[in-house]
Amino acid sequence: MTEVDLDELMENLAQCRRCGICRNAVYEDKGFDGVCPVWKNSAGFETSFMRGRIQVALALLEGRLEKTAENAESLYTCTLCGNCTSICAAEFDPAKCLESVRQVLREIPNEVRDTLAKKILENNNPYVEENRTRRYWVREVGFDIPSTGEVLYFTGCTAGLKLPETAKATAKVLKAAGVNFAVLEEEPCCGSVMLRTGMVDEAKRNAEKALEMIAKSGAKTIVVTCAGCLKTFREDYIERFGFDMPKVLHMIEYLKPLIESGKLKLKKSDEIQQITWHDPCHLGRALGVYEEPREILKAIPGVELVEMETNREAAMCCGSGGGLRSYDQEQAKKIAADRMHDAEEIHADILATACPFCEHNLKDGAIRIDSSIRVVDILDLIAEQLE
Amino acid sequence: MVDKKVITELSEIVGEEYISTKQDVLLAYSSSASMASDPIIPGAVVRPTNAEQVSRIIQVAAKYDIPVTPRSGGSSLQEEVIPKLDGLVVELMRLDEIELHKELRSVTVGAGVTYGVLEKFLKEHDVFLPVYPESALVCTVAGNVAVNGAGPGSSKFGCTGELVLGVEVVLPDGQIITTGSEANPYAPGPYQRYAFGPDITGLFIGSLGGFGIITKVSMKVFKRHMFYDYNTFGFETHEQAERFMVDIKQNDINGVFTSLYEGPVLELFMDMIGEELGIPKYEWPFRTVSMTIGRVREDMMKSDAELAKKLCEKNGGHVIGISELPYSEWTGRLWFFVRACYIHGWHWRTLYHHQTPTNAHRSVEEIRDVMEKYGFLGHTAGFASGHSSFNAYPHLYFDPQDPEDEQKIRDAHKELAKTLFKTGAVPFKLAPYWADAIEGMDSYMAFLELVKKTIDSRGIMNPRVLGGL
């Protein structure tokens, strides 16, 4: 199902009665210390949080506002983190609606969005022309990884091309757990960013290609280290595109029973470290995976898990989602810096996460505030603690 | 459109980042949480960061005769912050300082501080600002002073206005004044509202920004209650329930929140949120009083709770004993009402007003009459809101995608304001909804007009409120 039912969308948008709870609600009972990361870290006009965005969306859809890139700007300065959905008192999902609005209003020019989609369709990734380079990390793990097998590690564009250490760490951990796994020869993009920015037809074309390659690999289980890939495969490929997908798990879901059963043994950390967990929006709010990573971190001997003020359903976003990092890098980094402040407040030594977008952006946020907190993917941590 | 020259002057005050004339931004400020309201596009929006900036902005607006609409949380429901066409919106959310005066049992907050933010801060100091509007997570304290709202806590502590010790206001000529004890520059902080003669603070409470822009408010705070009793009381006539409400006050029972529900209205609420809040199913009687008693000492709480039961029976009622309803109302006071207001899909218009407790049934009758006449869904419920008043909050539901339905509600709403007025009800403030309803108040309105013209001779301050004086 790739077409948006416009009547249903308008009915959903009408659920917003402009109460404004999606701006900066501070409500300890539900864990909220603010809601919208963009409002908090921008000039803060009404259009910087969901109430205003919905008013703009309605006006554009109803023709009360001219469909120009400038007028539609607020539709794209949202990370789609879904914190507004978590606190919304009405029965609708504002973030999901905004994603649909982007799809319906895709006629409005947006160079960043179009360039991203074009690159993915042409190169199978949004970053480089030579997509085969995304498998170069395999050469450095010290053992062969086949391209077919029952367990497929889908690396994702960002881990493959920008943060290969996470990919290498994942391979090391899987091997240590005795798992035979494969990595595609020339893995395509999952298409998450296309979906989030409203390029659904292009995303479907890309997804068909990805599905074919996955099918050829013989995978019965796909493991991922990217929260965006997870949501896209587990939700969008099945619900939107109607694909018959193998079982898809994030590595933290896959590893938890292996650690609990003792198949994967973790050694004691050299010194006691305070680690905080940043919930990636696609993993937490979108798919409800909150406890598995925490259980894994607690299972590392010598690690003390400390929580940031906002966590789980009310966790503040890292700032990179929904295409914001591409659309307004400066804004995305400001939000990341703010999230790093949260970690600083609780004196964490390490901030761990399970999404390369979060990791990449939060690292920039740490630089911005001169934070000495180590930002790391949980797989890197696990790999370091292998016995 | 606001002239470019004006925009330049305003930019110099707040910085380019904090002024906007973008079409999408202006559209977003053309409405608020008020439903069935016509949006009106302003000419510019500014977001100052302190009273001095607000003062300079007002001076520019006065120089060019530009109407100004102050706005903070944007949660008001009766068109209080709908701007004038091409006017200037002064959005105050960046005024976010909080200063606690613990020894004086007071707190001073900037106009951008919401109740949610303040509640978290005060909790750390074991005190609370005990009246919470139903939109507390969005609404600012200063905004609520400007509308003189009420909500959970009002049954004991009255309307928000009762808690105000003083305000900092930017007047229409740009002057900044502080009222109450803080008018004295040597005062250690806000400790007495009634200082230096007339209650100038009171002039700004419920003024809706018609006399100036409130940039800070100083409020009384109280030690947090440690001991609570939650109970529900059933009655078969409205007289019984209303007499009980009066007896509660007469006997100094500390009902911090005492709600009165019609049976079918409570059924409606419970159908919507009862299960979610864990409130047991029950065949609610003709009238239910749901009461939270709060005290700082246990003996006082227990004594109040016992007496409440006796007074219920004395008035012919029975103790229902379901505590989950008042518990949810009070402990979930930042959430319960907002959830109840938005969980359903309807849009609604409201017409908040005060009655006497013994006249509460008149509000119920009037809304029922207008519902029958116009044929729409709606309800009213309410709560004790002070010394001898009862706050009713009628909701008139409509489908926003059906223009005829919406018009019907607008017409019914207009009529209801008139009929409620004639029952002796009073609105909290003179928001646009009430402008056509009042009658027989010519001298009062003439005096109000004189005050308005004296303070705001150019008529630039939020001209749509106070009956459009």
Boundary (domain end) residue, out of B223, B248, B266: B223
- In a domain? residue B378: yes
**Distance between CA atoms of residues B406 and B400, nearest Å:** 6
Q: What CATH number is associated with residue B24? A: 3.30.43.10
Is residue B235 domain-shared with residue B118, that is, in the same domain? no
State residue A52 phi and psi, 5-degree precision.
-70, -40
Boundary (domain end) residue, out of B340, B361, B389: B340
- In a domain? residue B139: yes
| Inter-chain residue contact A25 with B401, CB threshold 8 Å | no
> Among all residues of chain B, which has the CA nearest to that of A67?
B24
Q: Which residues of chain A fall below pLDDT 70?
A: 1
Q: Give me the residue from B18, B25, B120 closest to A46, CB to CB.
A: B25
Q: Give me the residue from A11, A15, A47 closest to B28, CB to CB.
A: A47
- In a domain? residue B464: no
Contact A232, A192 (CB under 8 A): yes
Is residue B156 domain-shared with residue B168, that is, in the same domain? yes
Overall average pLDDT of the B326-348 stretch: 95
Identify the pLDDT of residue B115.
98
Is residue B252 domain-shared with residue B199, that is, in the same domain? no
* pLDDT band, very low/low/confident/very high, at B431 (cuts 50, 70, 90): confident
Taking CA A47 as the corner, what is the angle to CA A342 and CA B333, rounded to the nearest 5 degrees?
60
Q: Give me the residue from B25, B35, B45 closest to A17, CB to CB.
A: B35
Per CB-CB distance under 8 Å, the chain A contacts of B119 are 26, 28
B192 pLDDT exceeds 70?
A: yes
Q: Give me the residue from B27, B117, B334 closest to A59, CB to CB.
A: B27
A7 touches chain B (CB under 8 A): no
**Residues 306..345 of B with a Cβ closer than 8 Å to A: which?**
331-332, 334-335, 338-339, 341-345
Overall average pLDDT of the B188-213 stretch: 97
Contact A95, A54 (CB under 8 A): no
| Inter-chain residue contact A56 with B345, CB threshold 8 Å | no
Identify the pLDDT of residue B469.
78
Identify the pLDDT of residue B125.
98
Overall average pLDDT of the B364-373 stretch: 96
Contact B110, B142 (CB under 8 A): yes
**Residues 421..450 of B with a Cβ closer than 8 Å to A: which?**
none
Identify the pLDDT of residue A371.
98
Q: What CATH number is associated with residue B119? A: 3.30.465.10
Question: For B219-252, what is each residue's pLDDT tens digit?
Answer: 999 999 999 999 999 999 999 999 999 999 999 9
Is residue B73 domain-shared with residue B128, that is, in the same domain? no
Is residue B335 domain-shared with residue B353, that is, in the same domain? no
**Distance between CA atoms of residues B342 and B224, nearest Å:** 29
Contact B260, B245 (CB under 8 A): yes
Per CB-CB distance under 8 Å, the chain B contacts of A43 are 17-18, 20, 47
> Among all residues of chain A, which has the CA nearest to that of B336?
A89
**Distance between CA atoms of residues B195 and A337, nearest Å:** 47
| Inter-chain residue contact B27 with A65, CB threshold 8 Å | yes
Mean pLDDT across chain A, nearest whole number?
A: 96
**Contacts of B158 by beta carbon, 8 Å cutoff, 6+ apart:** B131, B150, B385, B386, B387
B41 touches chain A (CB under 8 A): no
Q: What CATH number is associated with residue B269? A: 3.30.70.2190
Continuous H helices in A124-163: 157-161
Continuous H helices in A139-222: 157-161, 164-176, 192-196, 200-217
- In a domain? residue B433: yes
Boundary (domain end) residue, out of B203, B223, B243: B223
- In a domain? residue B287: yes
Identify the pLDDT of residue A1.
55
State residue A196 phi and psi, 5-degree precision.
-65, -30
**Residues 92..151 of B with a Cβ closer than 8 Å to A: which?**
93-94, 114, 116-117, 119-120, 123, 135, 137-138
Is residue B243 domain-shared with residue B191, that is, in the same domain? no
| Inter-chain residue contact A21 with B339, CB threshold 8 Å | no
Q: What separation, in Å, do the N-terminal and C-terminal C-alpha atoms of chain B show? A: 24
Percent of chain A with pLDDT over 90: 97
Mutate to test the interface with A, among B71, B93, B113, B137 (most CBs of A within 10 A): B137
What is the distance in angstroms between the Cα of A320 and the nearest Cα belonging to chain B?
22
Is residue B188 domain-shared with residue B291, that is, in the same domain? no
Question: For A190-212, what is each residue's pLDDT tens digit?
Answer: 999 999 999 999 999 999 999 99
Overall average pLDDT of the B174-188 stretch: 98
Identify the pLDDT of residue B428.
87
- The alpha carbons of chain A give a radius of gyration, in whole angstroms, of 20
**Contacts of A222 by beta carbon, 8 Å cutoff, 6+ apart:** A152, A153, A154, A214, A233, A245, A246, A247, A248, A249
Is the pTM of the predicted complex or chain greater than 0.90?
Answer: yes
Contact B109, B118 (CB under 8 A): yes
Is residue B103 domain-shared with residue B211, that is, in the same domain? yes
Q: State how many domains chain B has.
A: 4
Helix (H, G, I), strand (E, B) or coil at B172: coil
Is residue B293 domain-shared with residue B328, that is, in the same domain? yes
Overall average pLDDT of the B137-164 stretch: 97
- In a domain? residue B443: no
B100 pLDDT exceeds 70?
A: yes
> Among all residues of chain B, which has the CA nearest to that of A40?
B94
| Inter-chain residue contact A90 with B114, CB threshold 8 Å | no
Indicate the burial class of B455 (C-beta count within 10 angstroms; 0-12, 13-18, 19 or more). middle
A62 touches chain B (CB under 8 A): no
Closest CA to A101 of A128, A74, A121, A129: A74
Is residue B237 domain-shared with residue B325, that is, in the same domain? yes
A90 touches chain B (CB under 8 A): yes
B68 pLDDT exceeds 70?
A: yes
- In a domain? residue B449: no
- In a domain? residue B130: yes
What is the distance in angstroms between the Cα of B271 and the nearest Cα belonging to chain A?
15
Residue-wise DSSP of A269-328: PSS-EEEEE---TTTTTTT---HHHHHHHHHSTTEEEE--SS-GGGPPP-S-GGGHHHH-
Identify the pLDDT of residue A367.
98
- Name the residue range of residue B52's domain: 4-93
b/e A135-144 (16+ beta carbons within 10 angstroms → b): bebbeebeee
Per CB-CB distance under 8 Å, the chain B contacts of A85 are none
Is residue B300 domain-shared with residue B216, that is, in the same domain? no
**Distance between CA atoms of residues B229 and B254, nearest Å:** 10
Q: Give me the residue from B29, B91, B347 closest to A17, CB to CB.
A: B347
Mean pLDDT across chain B, nearest whole number?
A: 96
Identify the pLDDT of residue B434.
86
> Among all residues of chain A, which has the CA nearest to that of B346?
A15
Task: Classify strands B390-392 and B353-355 as parallel, antiparallel or unpaired.
Answer: antiparallel
Instruction: Give the total residue count for chain B.
Output: 469
| Inter-chain residue contact B335 with A30, CB threshold 8 Å | yes
**Distance between CA atoms of residues A230 and A238, nearest Å:** 12
Is residue B396 domain-shared with residue B302, that is, in the same domain? no
